[in-house]
Structure 1
Amino acid sequence: MAAKAGSVQSLERSFELLEHMADAGGEVALSQLATVSGLPLPTIHRLMRTLVNLGYVRQEPSRRYALGPRLIRLGETASRLLGSWARPHLAELVDTLGETANLAMLDGDEIVYIAQVPSRHSMRMFTEVGRRVSPHCTGVGKVLLARLPNDQVKSLLARTGMPAMTPHTITGIRKFLAALDQVRADGYAVDEGEQEVGVRCVAVHIPGAPTLTAISISGPAGRMTDDAVQQAVPVLLRVARELGAEISYQESTA
């Protein structure tokens, strides 16, 4: 990887390695990093030792490398900032569609909710910001896993398992991959009471976000009818594009 004009090549390579580690679930061997990055092993070893010394990576007894604890503070701060950018867009979803709006991202092997604006209905859905859930049983999880190759999805779900949260949860990998094919064709995902009985959620991914991120609306199945879902999808897609453009602009001017 050649450094861009005015940039520091070793710094670019270090962040590239961190991103490869995150894509692999947070723990890798040097040989894996060499395969995906194309960098020589001595270069990777030198960069990883520096990251270990700084606390951004740790070395396990198995000699594999894992993301380190100093990244947590950076990630939490970045998530709060992204949540603050997203909140006006989520409020627009609530005003337009009437249901609770959520912002979530794929963090390692889990979905983490990073912002929410609740519905004004007395009966509404509430998910605590910071909550982590399995990706196979949520609308946001399905729409984000649909952005990954099937082999990567299989590896992730092999690590997490596919526990049945409700009678509607998809627990078979073949059926789940078929569902992801449908999500890719439709451009959105629906949680059919797979995380919580009686709750439906429709989600779309945010284009241009630096990590896999999605917005969704969720509500009681009695209000989230098929017609309501179809009316919500174009609104969600528009808001996702607007939020993605704002994030991309912030990155380009940083």
Structure 2
Amino acid sequence: MAEKAAGGGVQSVERVFELLELITDAGGEVSLSELSSSTDLPLPTIHRLLRTLVAKGYARQLPNRRYALGPRLIRLGEGANKQLGALARPQLKNLVDSLGETSNMAVLDSDMVIYIAQVPSPHSMRMFTEVGRRAHTHDTGVGKAILAQLSNDAVRSIVGRAGMPTPTDRSLKNIDELLAELELIRERGYSVDEQEQELGVRCFAMAVPDAPTPSAISVSGPVSRVDERFAEKAVPLLREAVQSIAAELNLKA
């Protein structure tokens, strides 16, 4: 019979998810000793749970004996992303109807962001970002909005593993610049991609509060249309949208 956890759940299930989250937080790969130092679980329990996860394909042991996330999680993640994107799509459409520019939703996936939903602008000249595309966090509006929800240590770890390429001459070039930018984002509540991903394109983004996985939505378009006047209208609408998505997520929980 499975042990009951303090909150009424099943203890062994809670422990499995704790291990998976620890592996994820470590960048998708971790040693047994690193897991042991990050949790109060006894080492034999960790080893037993990992063996089960490996056997089921939800974890894998690498040749160097470290443990990584397994391929069966991909299908679960893709399904969850589709559901989250479908849930957010009405809010993205409202943004496009009100602002006339492309709206996207992205989530943090390991050390990158992945776009999971989009409603395109009706304009012929617009920003194109394919659903399923992965991008760095430091040079995208959604990425910076997500990073601003994390601790500086977590940001350093993500950027240390993913690197900081500079697609344009406006891209942030080092961790100090990024941390200063994130502090500004925390103060004002939204991020701006100031032609950092693509010259001629500006993006305003905002994180979804209390989302089960770090998430953000954005509106993007040519700098000729997406200007300060646009921001005055877009920021309150983004705030309404993320609050509506957060409320919907809480109802589904």
Instruction: Give the Cα–Cα distance (whole angstroms) in 2 for the partners of residues 75 and 243 of structure 1.
Output: 19
Within a 5 Å distance, the mapping from 1:92-111 to structure 2 comes to 92-111=94-113
Within a 5 Å distance, the mapping from 1:1-254 to structure 2 comes to 3-251=5-253
Instruction: Give the Cα–Cα distance (whole angstroms) in 2 for the partners of residues 193 and 38 of structure 1.
Output: 45
Please report how far the alpha carbon of residue 200 of structure 1 lies from its aligned counterpart in structure 2 after TM superposition.
0.4
CA offsets 1:45-75 (integer angstroms, 9 cap, x no match) = 1111110110000011111110000000001
Please report how far the alpha carbon of residue 142 of structure 1 lies from its aligned counterpart in structure 2 after TM superposition.
0.5
Instruction: Give the Cα–Cα distance (whole angstroms) in 2 for the partners of residues 84 and 38 of structure 1.
Output: 38
Normalising to structure 1: TM-score of the pair? 0.95
Please report how far the alpha carbon of residue 219 of structure 1 lies from its aligned counterpart in structure 2 after TM superposition.
0.5
Partner of 2:77, secondary structure, is helix
Instruction: Give the Cα–Cα distance (whole angstroms) in 2 for the partners of residues 230 and 40 of structure 1.
Output: 53
Instruction: Give the Cα–Cα distance (whole angstroms) in 1 for the partners of residues 37 and 189 of structure 2.
Output: 31
Unaligned runs of 5+ in 1: none
Normalising to structure 2: TM-score of the pair? 0.96
Q: Which runs of 4+ in 1 moved over 4 A?
A: none
Q: Which moved more, 1:6-15 or 1:129-138?
A: 6-15
Partner of 2:204, secondary structure, is strand
- Contact persistence 1:115–1:129 (CA under 8 A): yes
Partner of 1:224, secondary structure, is coil
Instruction: Give the Cα–Cα distance (whole angstroms) in 2 for the partners of residues 147 and 39 of structure 1.
Output: 28
Instruction: Give the Cα–Cα distance (whole angstroms) in 2 for the partners of residues 84 and 196 of structure 1.
Output: 27
Please report how far the alpha carbon of residue 4 of structure 1 lies from its aligned counterpart in structure 2 after TM superposition.
4.3
CA offsets 1:127-177 (integer angstroms, 9 cap, x no match) = 100000111110000011111111111111111111110010001111111
Q: Which amino acid aligns with 1:103?
A: M
Please report how far the alpha carbon of residue 91 of structure 1 lies from its aligned counterpart in structure 2 after TM superposition.
0.3
Please report how far the alpha carbon of residue 5 of structure 1 lies from its aligned counterpart in structure 2 after TM superposition.
4.5
Instruction: Give the Cα–Cα distance (whole angstroms) in 2 for the partners of residues 24 and 195 of structure 1.
Output: 26
- Contact persistence 1:101–1:116 (CA under 8 A): yes
Q: Which amino acid aligns with 1:63?
A: R
Instruction: Give the Cα–Cα distance (whole angstroms) in 2 for the partners of residues 204 and 36 of structure 1.
Output: 31
Q: Which amino acid aligns with 1:147?
A: Q
CA RMSD of aligned residues (A): 1.2
Instruction: Give the Cα–Cα distance (whole angstroms) in 2 for the partners of residues 159 and 171 of structure 1.
Output: 15
- Contact persistence 1:165–1:195 (CA under 8 A): yes
